[in-house]
């Protein structure tokens, strides 16, 4: 084992002379002790794995803490060696990295396809430190290299997980080297036949390829040498998974895929990149539309290069990538290049790198990574939180979600039986906010105890809220009705619409209809369990009561008769039983000429200084046309006029008789029998034995007067009875 360590140290020193070798040795000793006696599936001592992961981490160029964390990354999970001990020995930075890697390790492949997206997001979101992701990628890379030692089913699961989660993340981080290795290792498990077809095909053509590429190297190299451009040319056959995808997408066999060989020219400056491009296009015919300038427009993951596809002498197309050394490092190592080439990154450097990742994730509007990026752009770190169930399923919740939200997200039955929660193994208040990567266990009772009303104030998700309300709706109907009734009454009173609501069925019906309830109890219950807010109900009732009041006012106004002359004047009543339109509390007197009584059609005349004089409408003195402004509409208020029995009205009668003698006493007898008060009576003889009796009588109404008149007419000797109209 010692030589493994020496080899690692040697690599570290070469890569990073400032690394703390002593600390790395201590981490190795610690890991070796912790894993003592453990074996990998292939029979090797376990420590081989952490050392191999550390080597990849060194290759990525990460710092001392990352190397230590790589060596210790399986300790917390797999050995007695705990968090505290690592923290004491190696400090907070290292233990947090180890802890982060451990949490990422809890990510489980889920057979639900949609989970891939969540898992990728969570993967990125939960690592507070980008180094955690890089160490985890290194861990997965080494495991992928040794997939063949796993049981068959596990191989497939792990390979799929690698293909769907780890490789895309490596791609997002611009780490093409790790990406393609992960892809090829996974493909070998996922489609062994397709994989070996390509491997065999490439093997069969390898001599051809080698010759072909050799010729190109010579030709381009010669030209650039002549032009005095410093350069390095590397040639390669494209990696297996990219050929596989091409075959799959274009339905071709390996022999039909020409674009297999690739040439890379690395130069010192950007200007040289474009110079080289010019020379290449002189030597070979470019395929139109295949030139891509990723230098002026870098790929979303930061990749920069010039790409062109040209046709070789044999008519075989091949791709040439031209870039600077700097760009090449970025292309190979992506985000890790930040450590690799900017030694001694401090915390701030880490933040910068993180900012860079966010930026490039957010700036995505691009092509190939579109799917991945579409959903994570904005939400990635801010709006979402990803947590695990104890089984390792990942659940995506909005930021700020509590264990209650989670319980209801799992199932309403879980929420309703919830008694508490354990987060990362510890009992935690149910209103605490969940954090990325938390392992959350919902504690439940056998019987549903039901949620507490306070939970409505705690929960963050609408799903949980509506499920809690649902529960209250179902379980506590009686209580809800009582509470809701009380609440509603209180608010109705406060808004002065209590009677407006309860005295009016129409308002009640409208309110129930509006919120789709069929009974008041349903409404109370809904208020009680919080299915509807009081404000909504109160506003609706207010509206309705107001509307109804306005309608009534309008109806009252419409019922009132109007004069032609002054149709819109306001109405007033007087104690005399006369209503005069438009004049309040006016003095009313009855015209002596026509002596109107209740039941007569009347009209008012506005006198100068003596109030309104009331005439019978058929009075000879009424000439509305002559002075229209002074004639006002008036009518009897029957109730008022008859309210007081003593309220009598004087009117004049003229009784024509055939002979005076004897008739006068008869008339007097009838008047007395009818209890009519007579306060003025005169009789005079006319020629021919006819006579006339004039009398002023007090009556209650036209009705009584008509009655009187008909009785008078029935007196023998009475010719006619008329009401007097004084024409003077």
Active-site positions? 77-78
Residue in the shown chain whose Cβ atom is closest to Mn ion: 139
| Nearer to Mn ion (CB atom), residue 49 or residue 467 | 49
Q: Which stretch binds Mn ion (CB under 5 A): 26-34, 37-45, 74-82, 315-323?
A: 74-82
| Nearer to Mn ion (CB atom), residue 104 or residue 583 | 104
User: Hey, what are 40's tokens?
Assistant: 């990998």
| Nearer to Mn ion (CB atom), residue 143 or residue 480 | 143
What binding mask, one character per residue, do residues 594-623 give for Mn ion by CB under 5 A, x or -?
A: ------------------------------
Starting at the edge strand that comes first in sequence, how are the strands of the sheet with 718-723 ordered?
677-685, 691-699, 649-657, 718-723
CA distance linking residue 263 with residue 217, whole number of Å:
8
CA distance linking residue 115 with residue 494, whole number of Å:
52
| Nearer to Mn ion (CB atom), residue 139 or residue 522 | 139
**Residue 99 interacting with Mn ion (CB under 5 A):** no
Shortest Cβ 47–Mn ion spacing (Å) = 11
H-type helices in 560-697, by residue range? 638-643, 663-673
**Residue 55 interacting with Mn ion (CB under 5 A):** no
H-type helices in 73-129, by residue range? 75-78, 83-104, 115-126
3-state secondary structure of 107: coil
Q: Which stretch binds Mn ion (CB under 5 A): 69-77, 153-161, 445-453, 598-606?
A: 69-77
Shortest Cβ 380–Mn ion spacing (Å) = 26
The footprint of Mn ion on residues 695-714 (CB under 5 A) is none
Question: What is residue 439's DSSP assignment?
Answer: B
CA nearest neighbour of 596 among 651, 653, 678: 651
| Nearer to Mn ion (CB atom), residue 65 or residue 74 | 74
Work out the number of other CB atoms within 10 angstroms of the CB of residue 175: 28
Helix (H) or strand (E) holding 653: strand 649-657
Shortest Cβ 535–Mn ion spacing (Å) = 57
Shortest Cβ 142–Mn ion spacing (Å) = 7
H-type helices in 411-497, by residue range? 412-416, 455-458, 462-475, 477-494
**Residue 74 interacting with Mn ion (CB under 5 A):** yes
| Nearer to Mn ion (CB atom), residue 143 or residue 324 | 143
What binding mask, one character per residue, do residues 112-151 give for Mn ion by CB under 5 A, x or -?
A: ---------------------------x------------
| Nearer to Mn ion (CB atom), residue 71 or residue 119 | 71
Question: What is residue 692's DSSP assignment?
Answer: E
CA nearest neighbour of 406 among 356, 454, 440: 440
Applying CB under 5 A, the site for Mn ion has a residue count of 2
Phi/psi region, residue 632 (left: phi>0; alpha: psi -120 to 50; beta: rest), is: beta
Shortest Cβ 532–Mn ion spacing (Å) = 54
Strands 426-428 and 440-444: unpaired
CA distance linking residue 308 with residue 205, whole number of Å:
23
CA distance linking residue 135 with residue 71, whole number of Å:
10
Beta-carbon contacts of 107 under 8 Å, excluding residues fewer than 6 positions away, are: 119, 122, 123, 161, 165, 392, 394
Shortest Cβ 7–Mn ion spacing (Å) = 19
Shortest Cβ 87–Mn ion spacing (Å) = 20
**Under the rule (CB under 5 A), what is the footprint of Mn ion?**
74, 139
């Amino acid at each position: 084992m010692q030589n493994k360590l020496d080899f690692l140290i040697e690599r570290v020193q070469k890569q990073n002379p400032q690394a703390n070798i002593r600390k790395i040795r201590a981490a190795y000793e610690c890991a070796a002790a912790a894993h003592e006696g453990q074996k990998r599936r292939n029979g090797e001592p376990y420590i081989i794995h952490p050392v191999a992961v550390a080597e990849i981490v060194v290759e990525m160029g990460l710092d001392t803490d990352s190397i230590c964390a790589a060596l210790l990354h399986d300790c917390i999970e797999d050995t007695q060696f705990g968090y505290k001990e690592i923290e004491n020995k190696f400090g907070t930075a290292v233990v947090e990295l180890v802890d982060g890697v451990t949490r990422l390790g809890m990510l489980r492949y889920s057979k639900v396809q949609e989970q891939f997206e969540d898992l990728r997001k969570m993967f990125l979101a939960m690592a507070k430190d980008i180094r955690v992701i890089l160490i985890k990628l290194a861990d997965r890379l080494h495991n992928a290299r040794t997939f063949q030692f796993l049981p068959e089913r596990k191989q497939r699961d792990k390979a799929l997980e690698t293909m769907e989660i780890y490789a895309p993340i490596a791609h997002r981080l611009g780490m093409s080297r790790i990406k393609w290795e992960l892809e090829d290792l996974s493909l070998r498990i996922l489609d062994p036949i397709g994989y070996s077809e390509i491997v065999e095909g490439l093997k069969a053509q390898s001599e051809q390829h080698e010759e072909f590429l050799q010729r190109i190297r010579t030709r381009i190299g010669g030209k650039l040498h002549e032009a005095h451009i410093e350069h390095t040319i590397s040639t390669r056959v494209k990696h297996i998974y990219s050929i596989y995808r091409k075959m799959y997408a274009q339905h071709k066999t390996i022999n039909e895929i020409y674009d297999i060989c690739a040439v890379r020219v690395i130069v010192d400056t950007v200007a040289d990149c474009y110079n080289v491009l010019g020379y290449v296009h002189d030597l070979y015919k470019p395929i139109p539309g295949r030139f891509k300038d990723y230098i002026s427009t870098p790929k979303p993951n930061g990749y920069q290069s010039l790409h062109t596809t040209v046709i070789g002498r044999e008519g075989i197309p091949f791709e040439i990538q031209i870039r600077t050394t700097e760009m090449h490092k970025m292309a190979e190592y992506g985000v890790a290049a930040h450590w690799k080439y900017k030694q001694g990154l401090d915390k701030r450097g880490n933040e910068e790198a993180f900012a860079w990742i966010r930026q490039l994730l957010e700036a995505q509007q691009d092509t190939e990574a579109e799917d991945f990026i579409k959903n994570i752009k904005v939400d990635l770190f801010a709006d979402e939180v990803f947590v695990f169930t104890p089984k390792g399923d990942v659940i995506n919740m909005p930021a700020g979600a509590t264990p209650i939200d989670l319980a209801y997200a799992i199932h309403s039955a879980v929420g309703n039986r919830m008694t508490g929660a354990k987060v990362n193994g510890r009992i935690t208040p149910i209103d605490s906010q969940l954090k990325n990567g938390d392992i959350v266990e919902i504690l439940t009772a056998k019987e549903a105890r039901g949620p507490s009303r306070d939970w409505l104030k705690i929960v963050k998700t609408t799903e949980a809220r509506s499920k809690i309300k649902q529960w209250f709706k179902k379980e506590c109907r009686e209580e809800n009705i009582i509470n809701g009734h009380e609440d509603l009454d209180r608010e109705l009173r406060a808004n002065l619409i209590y009677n407006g609501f309860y005295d009016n069925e129409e308002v009640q019906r409208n309110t129930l209809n509006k919120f789709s309830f069929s009974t008041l109890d349903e409404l109370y219950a809904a208020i009680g369990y919080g299915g509807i807010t009081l404000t909504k109900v109160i506003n609706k009732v207010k509206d309705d009561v107001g509307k109804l009041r306005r309608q009534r006012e309008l109806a009252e106004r419409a019922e009132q008769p109007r004069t032609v002359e002054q149709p819109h004047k306001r109405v007033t009543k007087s104690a005399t039983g006369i209503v005069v339109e438009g004049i309040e509390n006016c003095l009313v007197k009855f015209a002596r000429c026509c002596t109107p009584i209740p039941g007569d059609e009347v009209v008012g005349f506005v006198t100068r200084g003596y109030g309104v004089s009331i005439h019978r409408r058929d009075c000879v003195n009424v000439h509305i046309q002559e002075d229209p402004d002074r004639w006002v509409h008036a009518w009897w208020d029957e109730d008022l006029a008859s309210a007081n029995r003593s309220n009598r009205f004087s009117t004049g009668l003229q009784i024509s008789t055939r002979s005076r003698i004897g008739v006068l006493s008869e008339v007097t007898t009838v008047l007395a029998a009818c209890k009519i008060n007579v306060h003025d009576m005169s009789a005079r003889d006319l020629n021919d034995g006819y006579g006339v009796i004039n009398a002023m009588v007090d009556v209650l109404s036209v009705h009584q007067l008509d009655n009187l008149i008909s009785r008078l007419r029935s007196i023998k000797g009475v010719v006619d009875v008329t009401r007097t109209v004084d024409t003077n």
